Amino acid sequence: MAKEIERKFLVDAEKWENVKPLNYEIYKQGYLCIKDDLIIRIRQTPKKSFLTIKSANKGFSRDEYEYEIPENDAAELIKNIAGKKIVKKRYKINFSGKLWEVDEFLEDNAGLIIAEIELNSEEEKFEIPNWVFIEVTGDERYYNSFISKYPYSKWQK
């Protein structure tokens, strides 16, 4: 069984503009199942496509199973079966010896930028970049599955 140990942070858009890399990949995700204790997602990246099954969070951790699937299958599942979808730019940036993945959401979630860091344990220490400002780990509003159903553009500011 694979474990995902992840922390999430909101990104200061102005500070991010000064450090963001030029390179990014477009990710498309469609959700086949969104329940409190189970998420089943299809993800398309420019290079590979995946079926991912995630359990409910326990602290910063959850069980995660991910399987590569044919690109055509992923495209069809996202287009024809997945009811809820998101599109985002994924940036990868190394900071203080750790890989950070920063997602700039597009379409109905434009304006939302979230940084994630995967850890080896919940107790692992890491340095936080100055372009992140609020931790949202555990706040379900910032889960990709949530914003696929309740787009950021529809939130009351």
CATH number at 73 reads: 2.40.320.10
Q: Is 31 a catalytic residue?
A: yes
Q: What is the pLDDT of residue 1?
A: 53
**Residues sharing a CB contact under 8 Å with residue 22, sequence separation 6 or more, in sequence order:** none
Residue 22's pLDDT is what? 94
- The total of other beta-carbon atoms located within 10 Å of residue 141's CB is 10
Listed as ranges, residues in the chain with pLDDT below 50 are: none
Domains contained in the chain, number: 1
**Helix and strand totals (H; E) in the chain:** 3, 9
Predicted local confidence at residue 62, as pLDDT: 86
Confidence at residue 157, expressed as pLDDT on a 0 to 100 scale = 65
Expressed as residue numbers, the domain containing 44 is 2-154
Which residue among the candidates 24, 27, 31, 152 is catalytic per the annotation? Answer: 31
In this prediction the pTM is: 0.93
